[in-house]
Structure 1
Amino acid sequence: MEKFKTINQERNKRKLTGILSADVAGYSRLMEENEAVTIRRLDESRRIFGKLVNEYEGRIVDSPGDNILAEFGSVVNAVECAVTIQARLKFYNAQLPENDRMDFRIGVNLGDVIEEDGRIYGDGVNIAARIQTLAEPGGICISRTAYDHVKSKLNIGYEYLGEHNLKNISEPVSVYRVLTNVETPGKVIGEKRFLGSISRKAALAVILILFIAAAGSIGFIIYSRNHQKTEQQTSLDRLAFSMPEKSTIAVLPFVNISGSEDQDYFSDGLTEEIIAGLSRHPDLMVTARNSSSYYKGKPVKIQEVSKELGVRYVLDGSVRQDEGKVRISVKLIDAEQGYNIWTETYDRKKRDILSLQSEIMWLILREVRTRLLDRGREPDFLPDKKDSIEYTETYYILYRCYKERTPDRLKTAKELADKLIETAPDPWVYFMRSSILIALAGPPDNKVSEYLNEVEKDAKAVENLDKGASLAILGQLYLAKYERERVLGYLEKASEYLEKALEYYKKWVEISPDSKNAHFGLGFTLLFLQRYDESAKHYEIGLNIDSRSEVQNFVFMGISYSSPSPTGFLNLERAKMALERASMPPEQNNILAHIYLTLIYTYEDQMDRARIHAKEILRIIPYFSSEAYLSWIPISEETKRYHKELLKKAGIPEKSRFNPFQ
């Protein structure tokens, strides 16, 4: 038996190389629409890739499914080849009917890899594969290491997309989009803006601050600094709940134990199907196939696999085929703790291979989700069609795509919701679709009227299916309409819409008093109406129903409790408990919670705590300044001066080189 080799023993095969990773955008949809045509187009595209990669002195390393992996001795050649490929494919697509066109996304990285038997492995490959997913169809993204080598050597431009936290990569990676239609070679767009994926989320949070502030709900407004301070220390025990980090998992190649190598195709296909299925899930970080396939046919030690691939969990399995039957054995292992979390054996009659592999993949995805993912982020409403595993798991995936709130994820979520509604209309799938449409209504789509009209249609569609779902949709619809009119300056109309939202949420609470989301919706609306005590009450009820609710509900409860009351503030201790809970890992990047805590602790003269949260603000947004922040908040000048003074005392600079909110 071959002695197991660790990555450290392969140092003599390490090298620095240019890596090109590509895949087809919307491949699953194309296959569903016309499998034969899609395969022909893919074969032709592969020929284009192969010819051009060879011309630019590279080589195709692997091309499983719709993926293509190539390496180059020069990263300049890799990027130039990618640009030429996309130009060639664009010309080729222009000659085809629109529905038959196939667009590739390409990612290029310069990184360290391990080479064995003609394959390459390692973080260098993983980074190229991850940044490829950030590219637009027909587009190219490159890493910072690649950019540093090519920025002045090619007749192209670049757009800085910020730092991104990539799956299975420990450090954030700076990413650039390649621009082929700029006049000045080497032109770079966007680098003077605040950088990073965290900053993008922070910017969204700041917009949320504006959203709330405009309704008059900023809690820290002109009260005497001599207001009596409580000495009671904040207890987090009642609101602190552990939330596991994002689950990292590797799927080892399933072992064919049928006694015939001719049967490898089934176990290999099943492995790829499982990896693809798990990778659809935003809450799972799945090691790329290129990395895990290194272990095929080799004796492995799970703990060593865990360390080498940087994962906590490992999925392992085997396939046996005999006389028209298939037995698939699976085990999910916690490599850190060294024990099996789950084992299962599936016995099936041998039938259509793709159908069987898909069935097993959905079963495994359900078990992995149930055992590994954070139950505190379960969907608030599950569809009624619980007898279909594929339907339910697709709903979980669309829900978590929606929660990530990036344009690409939101569009994926809408596509999944449309597919589920077409399969079997469900009131809470309609509700999720309406939430997605409202989130999509702003930039970059800017289709506010069109999307809000669709939401109104969804509310009518479910009225006879579930009255609560219809009221929930109407409530969020009128909140969205309120915000649109408020931003446009039509305050009277905005006020009417806010009252309509209040009406619908009150009706929802009346018919569903045990629904946490009915109370959260009502509490949120009351917050805009500056009825802070009522708002706080409904947030308390909702969080008592489900104390593991989403973090923004703790933030809004904190805002309500830190708002003015006849005796000073409503309840600063409860405000601090809620906001501290909202700023705990893994929500430590919640900028709104840190801003409020900085203001509260500075007001109370608890400067050690205030400075802790001020440092967190500057970690999340390095160019944060009170001047930039307050320029976005429509509150009185006197209140702004007071906030500025509090933030300055906590260590927040008054000005910065860049304004991250522009």
Structure 2
Amino acid sequence: MANKGIQRKLKVIFSADVNGYSKLMGYDEEYTVDKITAYRDTIALLIKNNYGRVVDAPGDNLLAEFDSSLDAIHSAIEIQRTLKTENGKLPDNRRMDFRIGINMGDVLHKDDRIYGHSVNIAARIENLADPGGICISKGVHDQVEGKLDLGFADLGPHSVKNIEKPVRIYKVLLNQGDTGKVVKSAKSKASIGRWIVVTAIALAVAVAGAGVWYQQLEPKLEPASMDRMAYPLPDKPSIAVLPFENHSDDAKLNFFASGLTEDLTASLSKAPDLFVISRSSAAIYKGKSFDFKQVAEEQGIQYVMEGSVRKEKDKLRITVQLIDAINGHNLWADRFDRRAKEIFALQDEIVKHVMVELQVELTQGASARVASRGTDNLDAWLLKIEAHGEFATFTREGMIRARELYEDSHNADPNWARPLAGLASVDWYEAKQGWSVSKEASIQSGIELAQQAIEMDPDEPQGYQTLGNLYALTGQGERAIALRRKAVELAPNDLAAVAGLATRLKDFGAEQEAVKLFEQAMRLSPKHPWWVPYAYGVALHLVGRKEEAIQSLKKAIALNPTHVLPQAFLTAFYADLGRIEEARKTANEVIRLEPNFTANRLIRSHTLHDPVKDAKFRNLMHRAGLPE
């Protein structure tokens, strides 16, 4: 039996909201409320003048209905052109850009309100519109085509929540020069780039021929909020590769899963037209409950990749999926079943072919070809992964163990460059810390190993990074910086490459450029390791931003409370500002951490290659109460 209080009608639904409304409220709540009230009154008047009716206006949203598609679009165009003029009078941080979506369909009327799928679709279409733009459904487009002095861009089918079939969307082209034009797509450079990363990865997985490709048309994930992004969304495709999980009882597969994550991240990071969150930032989600919305908002990215490995008897299964967190879509997922002895062949299919010639071609050759891992020996690869973990402890015991593992990895595959570069890194760090029997012998050994690694694989950045570090120990600043620049050229999205170059610039007098690069590195890795804010803090102090320098060192200490380095420099920074009580309190913590600490020894191992600067920091530490 029909409910007499509810009526069904065919209507054109108009949905609008403000782009970045939460951020505007954060700037100035009272101003934003006053401005949106004034804008809403303007919108309501223009809707009424075009024979429409405002149904509801909660918060920054506005819902209206029309009997005619032409009236709805006329209204939308007038609104956007009027608001564009008004926004032109305001500073950028005060602008209030509305997005408008228009759909046509059956709606339920009750108590002057409207309900139904058609209303929901209009809201979804609105989310696809640009700030200051208009998007419409195919039904509306078909009604107005040829009847208006404007053009359209066919954005293709889009999935809509709880609707079985995708909805075809058109963008209204508001420039008069586009009159009568219907183009296939009006994608921006950024959206083209996002298509590139999705297509490249998807095609690579399809090439593997082992999984069952499928598109999941219905979004089942809550979309991430652009307003809640911790960082502005980059203007190119942005992705985080989450740690692959081991779903079996075989502990050895932990290294395999970790290595797969690392290599996928490294391969994607080498493409300059992509923005890739570093492995260290993505690692914080390992073993924890999270949703893709949270990851996207915390890291400031659009795409999230995750996967798992499972071993059953002599079979290995790897699953991978790619999520568009902003639109709440599972873009693709695939499953690969292989015999365990074919593990590395499968790795090649997933990693080596993801960004091969296709990526170079789609980005007009702007990006370097993604380097292969360089080995087909699974044992060598797993040993290298374990060695890197030991090296990253930055302890004397960790370096001893890392050297053993890198040597084992090299013995397993003597033709692979990475273990040699790893051994060179151990030589560098032991020489830097004074742990070598002979500093000069360690530096020479490291230089020879790094040069071998570069000769073996000229496209592998780690050899250049390490060789640059070794030349820095000998005081050859220009040579060291040139090598670190080469590493960044090969891996422009790699945290270690970018922050490492910044560190060398800081050490050899180019502090201003160093500060900019540190900031770039920290954006690449919002959850960066402790040594990045430490080195950034030193660079900030050198350019005169002394209060910021203190805050950066405090962040480094919070990330690693047991390392003496940021604590020691913090004593110097406090002393330099005359905050002697804080300086002495921090100096006591330094002595607690390292009872045999001396300022001379620290400055020798962390020299700025400038006697005046080194002497200043050494004297400041002494003034704070640290032994010379």
- What interval of TM-score do these two structures reach, taking the shorter chain for normalisation? 0.3 to 0.5
TM-score by length of 2: 0.38
Rg comparison, structure with higher value: 2
TM-score by length of 1: 0.36
Higher relative contact order (CA 8 A, sep 6+): 1
